[in-house]
Amino acid sequence: MDAAAAAGPSSSAAPAAAARPSSGAEPSAAAAAQPAPVAPRMQLLQAPLLGAGGAGSGSGSGDARACRHHAYSRKQKSLGLLCSKFVALYDREDVETIGLDDAAKQLGVERRRIYDIVNVLESVGILVRRAKNRYTWLGFGGVPAALKELKERALREMSGSPVFPPMEESSTANLSVDEDDEKLEDADEDAESEKLSQSVDNTSDKPDAPGCRLRSDHRKEKSLGLLTQNFVKLFLTMEVETFSLDEAARLLLGEGHAESNMRTKVRRLYDIANVLSSLNLIEKTQQADTRKPAFRWLGQAKRKQENNTMIALPTARPNKRAFGTDLTNFDNKWGRLDPTTEDKAKLMQGAGNIVKTFERQLGQGNRSDFVYGPFHPAVAKKQESDDHTVRQKERKTIQDWENLAVSFRPQYQNQALNDLFGHYVEAWKSWYLDLTRETSS
């Protein structure tokens, strides 16, 4: 492969293809000669990426006056900016559905970019997939519900309550949680549930459980949408101010992360972070201690105007959050903590938070909205009493952790959760050890 070509921003040749590991079989075939027509990147460059109201881009189907080289500017083409434009374009009362082709054309970008945006927007409830090529715009009004749901799901995942209905969307009913207002809006949940109803289980370390796994899960479990949700869950459940992207990647990947794996994950997180910050859900800052770039959760989705002013969130829209939107999306991978992570204090904080979660679920807290699913931990009741012990001496002894672990672990209906919980416990133990060592010396 001659590849490696100097592929500047304007050279089209397929550099990427070169070193691609390409999971599949025929490795060589890939090289399929690229006609390399008219520098596509240049075409895009020309496209106006028109902002808000702006009408259709002129560049219809890229023709080749592409050759004048305006300074190529990445900034003008960032996903974040594109997202703002996307939102500006569709965040209107009268917008109901969105066609991907249309969006791509309007914004003067290739389809591929629209997928990126749409996937993360869907993850935070701004739109839902209706059908091939079709999305329904829900708007920012859908965000709070989506976040709430995400949080609840995260908590459930941590506690071991079942998160997914038997497999068919129809049975969402038994979903225990009283998602107050998530009505099954109209009849077409089908489409969206199709997409994210991945009871994603595990990657490698598990053969496969009975019938609960789609074959496409493998692909889905790495999807940008899922990653977005898991990223968000990090903020929603760990009471941690900021996350740098590689911290997040590490947390989300778990151990055994190959370096390249890590890099890829971080690249994706950059994509996601850019979109989320353009929605004003997070913002870029620096970590207090290290000064490393990091992201802080804002949680107030707003539309960011070109000039950086915000459009207040239109709380109005009776967020018709369709239940199907990934309610069943269940990924054990998220939150796998790596005990070797250096930022213990931070994670300790998160751990404390998780403890609170357990307490809450043991009936201590005031979260009356939490309901155990069918797999209500048998020991939970009994444990209610001994449990303020646990609370009060949150950091008292490792024994506590182990007891807690023992009482819960067997109740997990799902190996993945079991693992996840195990990770937490292991991690806490080691942090606790370190902590006590430090403090006692």
* Closer residue to DNA, CB minimum distance, 2 or 180: 2
Closest alpha carbon to 373 in 197, 172, 144: 172
Report, in Å, the least distance between residue 337 CB and DNA: 21
What residues contact 300, with CB distance under 8 A and at least 6 apart? 280, 281, 313
Judged by CB under 7 A, the chain residues 177 through 196 that form the site for DNA are 194-195
The verdict on 375 binding DNA (CB under 7 A) reads no
Considering only residues 333-372, where is the footprint of DNA by CB under 7 A? none
Minimal distance, residue 36 CB to DNA, in Å: 7
Nearer to DNA, 12 or 328 (CB): 12
410 binds DNA (CB under 7 A): no
Q: Rule CB under 7 A: is residue 20 a binding residue for DNA? A: yes
Is 38 among the residues that bind DNA (CB under 7 A)? no
Nearer to DNA, 83 or 390 (CB): 83
When the beta carbons of 29 and 187 are compared against DNA, the nearer one is 29
Binding segment for DNA among 5-13, 87-95, 161-169, 398-406 (CB under 7 A)?
A: 5-13
3-state secondary structure the chain: CCCCCCCCCCCCCCHHHHHCCCCCCCCHHHHCCCCCCCCHHHHHHHCCCCCCCCCCCCCCCCCCHHHCCCCCCCHHHCHHHHHHHHHHHHCCCCCCEEEHHHHHHHHCCCHHHHHHHHHHHHHCCCEEEEECCEEEECCHHHHHHHHHHHHHHHHHHHHCCCCCCCCCHHHHHHCCCCCCCCCCCCCCHHHHHHHHCCCCCCCCCCCCCCCCCCCCHHHHCCCHHHHHHHHHHHHHHCCCCEECHHHHHHHHHCCCCCHHHHHHHHHHHHHHHHHHHHCCCEEEEECCCCCCEEEEECCCCCEECCCCCEECCCCCCCCCCCCCCCCCCCCCCCCCCCCCCCCHHHHHHHHHHHHHHHHHHCCCCCCCCCCCCCCCCCCHHHHHHHHHHHHHCCCCCHHHHHHHHHHHHHHCCCHHHHHHHHHHHHHHHHHHHHHHHHHCC
Q: Which residues in the 218-257 window bind DNA by CB under 7 A?
A: 218-220, 222-225, 245
Selected range binding DNA among 3-11, 84-92, 310-318, 346-354, rule: CB under 7 A: 3-11
Instruction: Name the nearest CA neighbour of 355 among 306, 403, 317.
Output: 403
Shortest CA distance to 278 belongs to which of 249, 293, 264, 298? 298
Q: Which of residues 150-169 bind DNA (CB under 7 A)?
A: none
Site for DNA contains 328 (CB under 7 A):
no
- Residue 362 CB, nearest approach to DNA (Å): 37
Q: Which is nearer to DNA, 40 or 54 (CB)?
A: 40
Contact 45, 15 (CB under 8 A): no
Footprint (CB under 7 A) of DNA, residues 41-70 = 41, 44-45
Amino acid identity of residue 29, one-letter, is A
Site for DNA in 287-306 (CB under 7 A): 293
Question: Taking CB under 7 A as the rule, does residue 2 contact DNA?
Answer: no
Closer of 111 and 381 to DNA (Cβ): 111
Within positions 204 to 223, which residues make up the interface with DNA, using CB under 7 A? 215-216, 218-220, 222-223
Length reported for the chain: 441
- Provide, rounded to whole angstroms, the least separation between the CB of residue 112 and DNA: 4
Residues 129-148 that bind DNA (CB under 7 A): 132-133
Least distance (Å) between residue 132 CB and DNA: 4
Q: In the bound complex, what is the minimum distance in angstroms from residue 180's beta carbon to DNA?
A: 28
Residue 369, C-beta contacts closer than 8 angstroms, at least 6 positions apart: 177, 178
Q: How far is the CB of 225 from DNA (least distance, A)?
A: 7
Q: Is 406 in the site for DNA (CB under 7 A)?
A: no
When binding is defined by CB under 7 A, the residue of 84, 274, 319, 361 that contacts DNA is 274
Q: Under rule CB under 7 A, how many of the chain's residues touch DNA?
A: 75
Q: Name which position in 92, 183, 206, 267 contacts DNA (CB under 7 A).
A: 267
Least distance between DNA and beta carbon 385 (Å): 46
Asked whether position 24 contacts DNA by CB under 7 A, the answer is: yes
Q: Which of residues 67-86 bind DNA (CB under 7 A)?
A: 72-75, 77-80
At its nearest, how many Å lie between DNA and the CB of residue 77? Answer: 4
